[in-house]
Chains A and B, each alone.
Chain A
């Protein structure tokens, strides 16, 4: 099942990348990043059957980082929304020269 798992992981990662590139809603882009993290986790789990349980430990760390990232990122989105009344990335162009 290794090849099938890796193919599934690649397809999910691709869908996540396409979501990040084609959507403008900051929250949906954020969820696409979570989908990409999940795809990577699947790769770790698939390889952990052949290379030992360290892959599962890595998944635990990835989940922790994802939780921390969700907390900070959503706080940033809330703070942007207070200033701009929007989470549409087209309206957030403060750094544009």
Chain B
């Protein structure tokens, strides 16, 4: 475990947004209405964006707000609106006893892993020098420090992403098309 020094203000903000993320995530899975759930999920994503910025990933924090809270959640809300999912028959959706029991078991198992995870230590062989992230930020800026590895080591993966997006667009159009309108 590393023992870096963090100012009180930093620690307070980290815990504040961490608690906000967990609280709104719990509110998100317990709400009945899809619209309320989606808005709580947006709160979780904003809190996570703040934590990304606290963890020296400013560009990812901005992307989180733009892509997740902005684009993806708006698409979800559009679909909820399009399907008119407010009926009482759709809202009552909690499952029976067996899945809830399975969820509780898996939850306990995953939470037990936290104990193991919290005792993690950084392999000095692979780790970068302390303060590396801050140095990168000073040297290349928030966007440049992400863009340099993205367009050097991971250029092929980045180019393949464009194919993935093209396939997704084509798939969404084909799946969402209405057959009866096409015929006329």
Give A contacts to B, CB under 8 Å: 1-8, 10-19, 21-25, 27-28, 30-32, 34-35, 38, 41-42, 45-46, 48-54, 56-57, 59-61, 63-72, 74-79, 81-82, 86-88
A74 pairs with B75, CB closer than 8 A: yes
- Please report which residues of chain B, range 17-66, place their CB below 8 angstroms from some CB of chain A when the two chains form the complex: 18, 21-22, 25-26, 28-29, 34, 37-38, 41, 44-45, 48, 51-52, 54-57, 59-60, 63-64
B44 pairs with A66, CB closer than 8 A: no
B37 pairs with A71, CB closer than 8 A: no
A6 pairs with B28, CB closer than 8 A: no
| A6 CB to nearest B CB, Å | 5
How far, in angstroms, from A79 to B175 measured CA to CA in the complex?
6
Take A48-B133, A67-B67 as given contacts and tell me if A27 and B29 are in contact as well, using a CB distance cutoff of 8 Å: no
B117 pairs with A10, CB closer than 8 A: yes
Q: Which residues of A contact B169 (CB under 8 A)?
A: 71
How far, in angstroms, from A5 to B52 measured CA to CA in the complex?
10
Take A31-B37, A51-B126 as given contacts and tell me if A5 and B51 are in contact as well, using a CB distance cutoff of 8 Å: yes
Q: How large is the interface on B (under 10, 10 to 19, 20 to 34, 35 or more residues)?
A: 35 or more
Q: Which residues of B contact A78 (CB under 8 A)?
A: 79, 82-83, 175-176
A71 pairs with B172, CB closer than 8 A: yes
Q: Which residues of B contact A6 (CB under 8 A)?
A: 114, 117-118, 120
B157 pairs with A56, CB closer than 8 A: no
B149 pairs with A87, CB closer than 8 A: no
A-contact bits for B148-160, CB 8 A (1 contact / 0 none): 1110011001000
Q: Which residues of A contact B22 (CB under 8 A)?
A: 8, 11-12, 15
Return 13 A-B CB contacts under 8 Å, by A number: A1-B4, A1-B6, A3-B118, A14-B107, A15-B25, A16-B25, A18-B103, A22-B94, A53-B148, A56-B57, A56-B146, A57-B146, A63-B68
